[in-house]
Structure 1
Amino acid sequence: MTENVNADPAELAKFSELAHRWWDADGEFRPLHQINPLRLDWIGQHRPLAGQCVLDVGCGGGILSDSMARSGADVLGIDLASKALRVAKLHALEAQTPRVRYREISVEALAQEAPTSFDVVTCMEMLEHVPDPQSVVKACALLLKPGGWAFFSTINRNPKSFVQAIVGAEYILGMLPRGTHEYAKFIQPSELAAACRSAGLTVVDMRGMQYNPITARYWLSSDTSVNYLLATTRPAA
Structure 2
Amino acid sequence: MNLNAEPAELKKFADVAHRWWDLDGEFKPLHDINPLRMEWMARHTALRGARILDIGCGGGILSESMAAEGAQVTGIDLADKALKVAGLHALQTGVAVDYRLVSAEQLAAEQPAHFDVVCCMEMLEHVPKPASIVEAAARLVRPGGWVFFSTINRNAKAFALAILGAEYLLRLLPKGTHEYAKFIRPSELAGWARAAGLEPVEFKGLEFGLLDRRFRLGSDVDVNYFLACRRLP
TM value normalised by structure 2: 0.99
Match of 1:94 among 85, 92, 95: 92
> Is 1:147 aligned to 2:147, yes or no?
no
Residues 107-141 of structure 1, C-alpha deviation per residue, up to 9 Å, x if partnerless? 00000011010000000000000000000000000
Residue ranges of structure 2 left out of the alignment (5+ in a row): none
Give the drift of 1:92.
Answer: 0.2
What SS is found at the alignment partner of 1:219?
Answer: strand
User: 1:215 aligned to 2:207?
Assistant: no
Cα distance in 2, alignment partners of residues 13 and 106 from structure 1: 16
In structure 2, the partner of 1:106 is: 103
Give the equivalent residue in structure 2 for 1:178.
Answer: 175
After superposition, the CA RMSD in angstroms is: 0.6
1:48 Cα deviation from its structure 2 partner: 1.1
Give the Cα–Cα distance (whole angstroms) in 2 for the partners of residues 216 and 32 of structure 1.
14
The secondary structure found in structure 1 opposite 2:22 is: coil
The amino acid across from 1:206 in the alignment is F
Distance 2:167 2:218 in 1: 23
Any idea what the Cα deviations from partners look like across 1:139-197, whole Å, max 9, x if unmatched? 00000111100000000000000000000000111110100000000000000000000
Distance 2:199 2:30 in 1: 27
Return the letter of the residue paired with 1:152: F
**Which residue of 32, 40, 43 corresponds with 2:41?**
43
The equivalent of 2:9 in structure 1 is: 11
Distance 1:174 1:21 in 2: 16
Aligned-partner Cα distance in 2 for 1:213–1:84 = 30
For 1:159, which of 156, 165, 178 is the aligned residue? 156
- How big is the shift at 1:213? 2.8
Q: What fraction of aligned residue pairs are identical, expressed as a percent?
A: 61
Task: Return 5+ residue gaps in structure 1 as ranges.
Answer: none
Distance between the aligned counterparts of 1:176 and 1:222, measured in 2?
Answer: 23
Q: Measure the CA separation in 2 of the matches of 1:63 and 1:211.
A: 20
The total of aligned residue pairs comes to 233
Q: Secondary structure at the match of 2:200?
A: strand
- Report the more deviating stretch, 123-132 or 208-217: 208-217
For residue 119 of structure 2, give the secondary structure of its aligned residue in structure 1.
Answer: strand
C-alpha distance in structure 1 between counterparts of 2:133 and 2:179, whole Å:
18
Looking at structure 2, the residues matched to 101 and 205 of structure 1 have their Cα atoms a distance apart, in angstroms, of 29
| CA distance in 1 between partners of 2:131 and 2:5 (Å) | 13
Question: 1:214 offset after TM fit, Å?
Answer: 2.5
Displacement of 1:11 after TM fit? 0.4
Rounded Cα–Cα distance in structure 1 between residues aligned with 2:210 and 2:172:
10
Aligned to 2:69: 71
Cross-structure match for 1:132: 129
Q: Distance in 1 between matches of 2:219 and 2:171?
A: 26
Query: Structure 2: how far apart are the matches of 1:11 and 1:183?
Result: 14
Query: Residue 227 of structure 1 aligns with which residue?
Result: 224
Alignment partners' CA distance in 1, 2:185 and 2:169: 24
Give the aligned partner of residue 195 of structure 1: 192
Letter in structure 1 aligned against 2:109: Q
Q: CA deviation at 1:101?
A: 1.3
